[in-house]
């Protein structure tokens, strides 16, 4: 059995992903195997509108579950994606409205601080959505993933709510 077949735990979400060489993101903390799976998920969402309806929560969940290490980019990224999860899941914003709020939040450079990631970033990962072939079930699984990630960040909910544009 090769190392790719055995898999390795992703440094971000902890999912067992193929142990492969390949690209990653410059500040999102993911292994190449996990980043490739996320790419598959995004490709489906970009090419089939039935899956694309879940895109806002997909990106927010993946990014918040792979916070990386402290840098200006990772600090702001985690902050705005967690704010989006809060707006959609707690306040009931639709995805377009949450995206507009995120865009506003990104204009406040340096307004956020590093949030120490919780020991677990949630039991649901990109692996739980990548193979789902029914669009309504896919949307349910992406929301389940989003709720799992948002719940994992509970120690920081007060800070995130305070940062969120009203």
Count of the separate structural domains present in the chain? 1
Checking if the pLDDT of 5 tops 90, the result is: no
Whether the predicted model's global pTM rises above the 0.75 cut: yes
Checking if the pLDDT of 16 tops 80, the result is: yes
Q: What is the pLDDT of residues 139-151, one digit of tens each?
A: 999 999 999 999 9
Checking if the pLDDT of 36 tops 90, the result is: yes
68 token code pair:
């990386």
**Average pLDDT of span 29-56:** 97
Residue 153 DSSP symbol: T
Q: Look at residue 166 in the predicted model and tell me its pLDDT.
A: 57
**Average pLDDT of span 141-163:** 98
Residue 20 DSSP symbol: -
Helix (H, G, I), strand (E, B) or coil at 66: coil
Q: Look at residue 120 in the predicted model and tell me its pLDDT.
A: 96
- Tell me the C-alpha distance between 64 and 45, whole Å: 19
Residue with tokens 């507009």: 100
Checking if the pLDDT of 1 tops 70, the result is: no
Q: Look at residue 4 in the predicted model and tell me its pLDDT.
A: 54
Structural domain span for residue 28: 3-163
Phi-psi region of 68 (alpha: psi -120 to 50; beta: other; left: phi over 0): left
């Amino acid at each position: 059995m090769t190392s790719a077949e055995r898999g390795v735990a992703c440094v971000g979400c902890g999912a067992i992903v193929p142990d492969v060489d390949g690209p990653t993101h410059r500040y999102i903390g993911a292994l190449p195997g996990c980043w490739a799976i996320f790419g598959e998920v995004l490709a489906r969402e970009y090419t089939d509108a039935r899956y694309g309806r879940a895109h806002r929560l997909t990106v927010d969940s993946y990014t918040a579950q792979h916070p990386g290490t402290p840098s200006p980019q990772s600090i702001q990224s985690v902050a705005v994606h967690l704010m989006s999860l809060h707006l959609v899941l707690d306040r009931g914003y639709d995805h377009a409205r949450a995206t507009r709020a995120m865009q506003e939040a990104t204009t406040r450079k340096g307004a956020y601080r590093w949030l120490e990631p919780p020991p677990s970033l949630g039991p649901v990962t990109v692996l739980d959505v990548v193979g789902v072939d029914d669009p309504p079930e896919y949307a349910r699984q992406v929301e389940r993933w989003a709720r799992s990630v948002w719940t994992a960040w509970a120690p920081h909910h007060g800070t995130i709510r305070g940062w969120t544009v009203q």
